[in-house]
Structure 1
């Protein structure tokens, strides 16, 4: 099985290897921290960064929407990276993508980068809201802050987990961090960094790699596969 299923407040959620969450009951796809146009913004500053990241992200989105019965796509903040992300090539790619999914309801919960970058162009047809977005039994947010009475799904942190092997071997992988009150999605964007997280009491971590999602178990001395591997640092 390529995805892992978790249940929060009675809501079944699929943790997907594409770094997105599918919510079958709501027929909704949840994505955090796409940061579209980040590479374009860096290039405008004269930085030699890779091209093609927007197209790569768009292709993954197309794949996800083909694979799952989605009526709604919800971005948990940071859709665009900066003012410089409004580059013609970036907006053209997003416009072509949106045209292929005209019937899809798309909601953006504003994150800190969205406040700086500005809302997506009106022709993309996004509903843009402030956090929290209360949907079913969950609170959807960008910032990982508790919401009284609701388990929170959030982004912002770009969580990664370090698997420690024998000797000095280690591997940092994007992860889902499922907490008691607040759970974190990995950054969806192909050109994003990561912040290491730890797995505390009552929490779960699922790492993403090689087209699959694995639960992480084991203590500081554990080694081997992701189902029995490493400590977070």
Structure 2
């Protein structure tokens, strides 16, 4: 992991595509998209199985590794109304029982508006953006505000490394501008939107179980997946 100052707060950027906020004993997780695979299968699209279980398992590993007391989800917790399928909710219920003492907060995102709030038994505090905590404005949409530094999700940011068309790699990334920072999508079944950072913005790529600072902006931008 890499530690960095974000809006006056010290965060650890994790290769599992989340951020650890030691001062708040909190994990920050964007775009979990639980139930996305089952939502696609309901539409007849063949997609991978068990992605919700994989996502929740990574969450468990981070909670246990860091001794987290809280998780703040920066929007898009459930992918769609179809994410309320029995298989997804059963997996979530088992996970919640295992982590009964965790304080969970969801800052509503655009997918949450369609999927609806998580079931009451999940004991997740659900709020509209921004959630102001410790000097940061925790949001889903990466839109600058007049006061606190915004930390958000929504974009599923990725970075292209390598200059030639057939000699490059696309990687998820953390992206920090002057007033807004964006976390990578945490979910196991999510795409990427490749970004083109401006001069002075900081980017940290996630690759091979490591977080790596990107020293220079890429020469081109494109959308992926």
- TM-score bin (small chain): over 0.9
CA contact (8 A) 1:163 1:231 kept: no
Normalized per residue, the structure richer in strand is: 2
From 105, 109, 119, the equivalent of 2:117 is 119
Q: Paired residue for 2:194?
A: 196
- TM-score in terms of structure 1 length: 0.92
Helix, strand or coil: the match of 1:46? coil
3-state SS in 2 of match to 1:214 = strand
- CA deviation map 1:112-138 (0-9, x unaligned): 000000000110000000000000111
Moved more, 8-17 or 180-189: 8-17
Distance 1:167 1:87 in 2: 41
Match of 1:72 in 2: 70
Q: State the partner residue of 2:19.
A: 21
Q: What residue is the counterpart of 1:212 in the other structure?
A: 210
Q: Is the 8 A contact 1:199 1:232 kept in 2?
A: no
Tell me if 1:83 matches 2:81.
yes
- In the alignment, is the contact (CA less than 8 A) between 1:161 and 1:232 conserved in 2? no
C-alpha distance in 1, partners of 2:22/2:220? 31
Residue equivalent to 1:107: 105
- Any gaps of 5 or more consecutive residues in structure 2? none
How far apart are the structure 1 equivalents of 2:3 and 2:219? 22
Label 1:45 to 1:166 Cα distance change in 2 as closer, same or farther (>3 A): closer
- Please say if residues 163 and 219 of structure 2, whose CA atoms lie closer than 8 Å, have aligned partners that are also in contact: no
Tell me the SS of whatever aligns to 2:95.
helix
Could you say which residue in structure 2 is the equivalent of 1:174? Answer: 172
Q: What secondary structure, in the 3-state scheme, does the structure 2 residue paired with 1:116 have?
A: helix
Q: Which residue of 2 aligns with 1:155?
A: 153
Q: What is the aligned residue count?
A: 221
Distance apart, 1:10 and its partner CA: 2.3
Work out the CA distance in 2 between the residues paired with 1:203 and 1:150. Answer: 18
Corresponding residue for 2:43?
45
TM-score (norm 2): 0.95
d(CA) in 2 for partners of 1:93, 1:135: 29
**Structure 1, unaligned stretches of length 5 or more?**
220-229
Alignment equivalent of 1:6, drawn from 4, 12, 17: 4
